[in-house]
Structure 1
């Protein structure tokens, strides 16, 4: 997005906030009246008075700094295929939660089972997880690992979607890539905003961001709050209840920063929390979804509750020749849900799940200073200690089978030593070397009880996994506006225990990937056009594959798989007012050797991973306060099973937003899925070869009013 829309107040001096207008006071009063509090997603500083909304400077793309390699660098200088989405980009496109980020990145796809579901996962380049297996995608908020990836976006600085293995620097379960969400840090100047939004399906959003100095310039704070409510999109056919998937969500983030004069120390303490209370009555057969997508037949109105709390302390010390970074975090993530999973009005099958994670992580790293000449390097230690409880109850009393109960406790401890360096060999060529040693232990206590089937057994397992994860490559930078690179890297995802498997089949082995990538990043037309291209080849061994039939899950390790493809991203500042973006990715992911029982799936695609994705976007600033945004996001067909018998055909979604900024206020109108496209986000076999799933969001639209001061 063209940066001139926002003119940020300079750091290092205190700015007296404007006196709030009557509208701002009214919005604050509304905020105080709503139980729970508020937030403005990705809110940005207002345009300074006297400044045009269109910059008087040069027409060029904004410089983007990223921390993808755990040191700061310009995005065009980092030899990784990545998509960077700024907070302003997210606000301009009316992005609400994780899936809105994913749809902007090529070869990245997200599977969901309703709002903020615990069954949500991301595939990158055809590498995809399943319901019970762990993610092959690392998901981090301010450098802290999160297991539950389906969250709302709140006060975001930027998002970095890294494609390809990130195992050397990020460690466990990042064999396909990583998503880094970086939220806005406090600054020692006043920055405040309040937003009120309304929309169809009785959508209401109230939000606020407040920040500034605490006493003096060394201390500052930032508070971001958001309350979201909606009746949801689904109606229950038997009685016409139209809020069976209603949402009542609250997000909060509090930050305190200590940054004494100079850049030697930078310490930020953060509390981050989400409280989601959502309905979950949204499962229907595929035939019903295609004929009447947002009507369900159900005898149970379920719920989907999420409570996440995270406390983080990040401390950075910068010396002339090195930088020390410490990130300590303790996080709890709790999800409870009930589902009517038989997709009918009969009381046949009901599922209840309770998933609880408590996790402590510590990372300590030493790196070269930002912008230093000579080698760029980073090394460190990582510790991960997580306890998770998975409770599962499938009630099939309506079919005469009683209740199947599963209780599983897993203690996971991971320790790693890692390092990576880029060594200049000539003025234009640099050598990339990296290595991580990863050690993981899992202690699992699992118990299954299903009286109707005569099952009452328990098992205890200790599993130990060790991996050496190298990365080597070359950078070639013949000019300041062109970077080319070639890399070789190993990826890895630990094995585990599948608590829904039949007795004696619970354990599955690690999977490994060998990855080859070549790419280029070019900036041209006087910094008005950016091109990013990557070609990749992934060889998979022992791929973890799940076959799910409602209450039973079978995870096996396929013998061999492969994925190969290409990614292209373009950004063009066509004029001072017009910004155009385009991206696309294609991957040929398929099983090479995979037999399950009497079935041979060689040549088939893995489920939940389309062969291609693409995105087209345009932004226009009219120069008089008006602006407009439109994007089209598409994906190829997605199979729901390894046999490739059930699928969602290719589809595209049209989203638009237009607004007007005047003084310290903004009014915006938005519409998502403007053509009301019907599509399925997830589907699975509910027995007898009948597949049921969840329809994607219908057309939604609304208006947002924001005051900033």
Structure 2
């Protein structure tokens, strides 16, 4: 990994002894406030320093957990100790190239915080979802309460309010934007690397890279004929087969690469309904063909065609009843207070519910022409997808409710850019323009069996986004290693929205609007030596507005505008010990304004949630990253993020009539943003050595992935506990063959991953509850790979 890091000490309170972290870690609770590492007077305090308004004990020590988590973790942590003597005997860490600034660069020379997961990390850790990408890239979190249907990524604490189609982190496949949240976790096969770019990337990437961007880079065709086949089997009915073959069709002129993958997972939890769908199962089949033509020394064209098919079962989950905070004048409890508990009951889904189905195709043509000092690039891309989910919405053996939705989407884009080639001149520059269209049609197909319904019904919507953008970047070398870079993007977004839902006047909803977004970025860097880079930057991030289609809303609540943030960052990147050690650090501060938040309208009691721009928040933190090769064959890597993200000003209308917030009119300023971890940590080690047998080598490795608790929602009254995973692998290699044994989640941790406020269907009607997603327990796999 390549990334960003910095010590915790700059964020310690003045005069606080450096031993405070040791006392806190003894409780395995790194998110306690510094002044409350043992027992707070007058009750319990929240991490922001505010006393919990509900009086709920949010951070009681858990005596049974420390040794269970800490001893294995300390074993892995010990392997990251680097000795200068060992470093002297090791080869340098392999170099990686990234395209964070639309040109190929060493990530250690890029004045921005980023993490790169290369092919070796993706392979050994078995990364096959955006959630597993996030666990290896501290600072990025993913909430996915409905399986692969609608994941919600967030960077540096900028968590999203709802479940729309506009994520706050842009996902790109070979530089092409992936439209729609349900599509971002689909094309993860045959990756060469994953670039996780932190902070606003709007200036160059555009399209919802409000908090950051993730660029998935695929393997290109090569000139030599080569291929691989890997077969995997494991617990919980895991079966996988992946293969790739490629090489020159016309030497020096045309090469190709074909990748095919099929993966099945039966789900960790069993369905107690005999003929019901599997719980948490996933099945994916994908294929990709890449053609690369170089008809002349100056011209290169790459065409990539992809198709993917997913068939998933019922998402794993269970309901948790509310237990506190009755609404004024009623006995109806509105909140769950305390830590979200593990689930000990049975999982259930009826046979009438089929899960999640998805089919998608994408095509992208990238052409580059080298005109001596300038490179001209054209990227043309189209994509289409059809998906449908059919979820047992009561998560029980009773046939009460089905939640369903059919989605059809299409997107197309055209981008042209001119890039000055870096030949050592004082000024380098980039100019570009793009056009983008996204059509998204949905039809809700719900069946409320408890109300006597027998066929699906629901609102149908058609939404179109048209976007045009011009952008540019210029870097001026000032001498003595100093350089200043300025980026600027102008973007015009126009949206049209039509729904069969009706407004208060009984008319179908028809809405349209457009917004102009200006997103600058300025970076000042100092390359003190080939091995040391220091930088500061300021960047503006923006995300478009949109529309609300719930039935019970006032007309003024139907639209919401763009949100914006200014992110200020300072960082240091270093390469030490002749390239065998890299250490990076970054500090950041984010001012988030016109924040898009979810509110409840007074126009009705149900179907009344909407998004508006009533919030303001702040996030700040530190990021660390370290890679080392202390001995030949031993690779160590670690990354850490500390994020202090809180609301600065927001009166949540849902809290105005509950005891904890009634006195302050629902004001939640000072509370932590939900669904993000204050601390994230990823540590890993790999060792490979030749064995005393002909052409036989052995390897072993492991990783510890940990994140602190996350608040379930804005009130901070409930939270999912810290999540800790230890994964191990070992195997043998001989010539082109490799045998690998892996154990995921060695300690069989099953803490809940995410909890969201939800409407639970019952025989008597809908009631408020928390929908909780559990973690899978321990699993294992055995893989055999052959290369040619």
Aligned residues: 651
- Alignment correspondent of 2:200: 165
**Aligned-pair distance for 1:269?**
0.5
**Aligned-pair distance for 1:289?**
8.7
| Larger fraction in strand | 1
**Aligned-pair distance for 1:373?**
3.3
Instruction: Give the conservation status (yes or no) of the 8 Å contact 1:338–1:352.
Output: yes
Moved more, 608-617 or 398-407: 398-407
Match for 2:303 among 256, 269, 276?
269
Q: Secondary structure at the match of 1:76?
A: helix
Instruction: Give the conservation status (yes or no) of the 8 Å contact 2:723–2:753.
Output: no
Q: Secondary structure at the match of 1:675?
A: coil
- Alignment correspondent of 1:50: none
Match for 1:618 among 685, 695, 710?
685
Instruction: Find out whether 1:336 has 2:388 as its counterpart.
Output: yes
TM-score, with length taken from structure 1: 0.88
Query: Could you tell me how far apart the structure 1 residues matched to 2:128 and 2:520 are?
Result: 37
- Alignment correspondent of 1:439: 492
Query: Could you tell me how far apart the structure 1 residues matched to 2:256 and 2:392 are?
Result: 44
Instruction: Give the conservation status (yes or no) of the 8 Å contact 1:201–1:231.
Output: yes
Match for 2:111 among 61, 79, 83?
79
**Aligned-pair distance for 1:395?**
2.7
1:512/1:423 CA distance change after superposition, 3 Å: same
Instruction: Find out whether 1:367 has 2:402 as its counterpart.
Output: no
1:415/1:600 CA distance change after superposition, 3 Å: same
- Alignment correspondent of 1:674: 746
CA RMSD of aligned residues (A): 2.4
Instruction: Give the conservation status (yes or no) of the 8 Å contact 2:116–2:196.
Output: yes
Query: Could you tell me how far apart the structure 2 residues matched to 1:595 and 1:464 are?
Result: 27
**Aligned-pair distance for 1:680?**
2.5
Match for 2:726 among 629, 649, 654?
654
Instruction: Find out whether 1:220 has 2:276 as its counterpart.
Output: no
- Alignment correspondent of 2:763: none
1:302/1:681 CA distance change after superposition, 3 Å: farther
Moved more, 226-235 or 676-685: 676-685
- Alignment correspondent of 2:154: 123
Instruction: Give the conservation status (yes or no) of the 8 Å contact 1:590–1:604.
Output: yes
- Alignment correspondent of 2:73: none
Query: Could you tell me how far apart the structure 1 residues matched to 2:489 and 2:111 are?
Result: 18
Deviations 1:65-98 (A, max 9, x none): 1111001111100011000011122112222222
Q: Secondary structure at the match of 2:458?
A: strand
Match for 1:697 among 769, 773, 776?
776
Query: Could you tell me how far apart the structure 2 residues matched to 1:640 and 1:406 are?
Result: 28
- Alignment correspondent of 1:200: 235
Instruction: Give the conservation status (yes or no) of the 8 Å contact 1:235–1:242.
Output: no
Instruction: Find out whether 1:390 has 2:425 as its counterpart.
Output: no
Instruction: Give the conservation status (yes or no) of the 8 Å contact 1:294–1:695.
Output: no
Query: Could you tell me how far apart the structure 2 residues matched to 1:508 and 1:401 are?
Result: 34
1:57/1:382 CA distance change after superposition, 3 Å: farther
Deviations 1:264-318 (A, max 9, x none): 2211001012100111242212489945468413335331011111011000111
Moved more, 313-322 or 93-102: 93-102
Match for 1:283 among 297, 317, 320?
317
Question: Gaps (5+ residues) in structure 1?
Answer: 3-55
**Aligned-pair distance for 1:569?**
0.5
Question: Gaps (5+ residues) in structure 2?
Answer: 3-87, 322-338, 657-665, 692-696, 760-766
1:600/1:289 CA distance change after superposition, 3 Å: closer
- Alignment correspondent of 2:480: 427
**Aligned-pair distance for 1:457?**
4.3
- Alignment correspondent of 1:48: none
Instruction: Give the conservation status (yes or no) of the 8 Å contact 2:463–2:498.
Output: yes
Q: Secondary structure at the match of 2:369?
A: strand
Deviations 1:613-660 (A, max 9, x none): 110000111223111120011111112211122221112111111121
Match for 2:266 among 231, 249, 272?
231
Query: Could you tell me how far apart the structure 2 residues matched to 1:107 and 1:576 are?
Result: 30
1:223/1:360 CA distance change after superposition, 3 Å: same
Instruction: Give the conservation status (yes or no) of the 8 Å contact 1:94–1:657.
Output: no
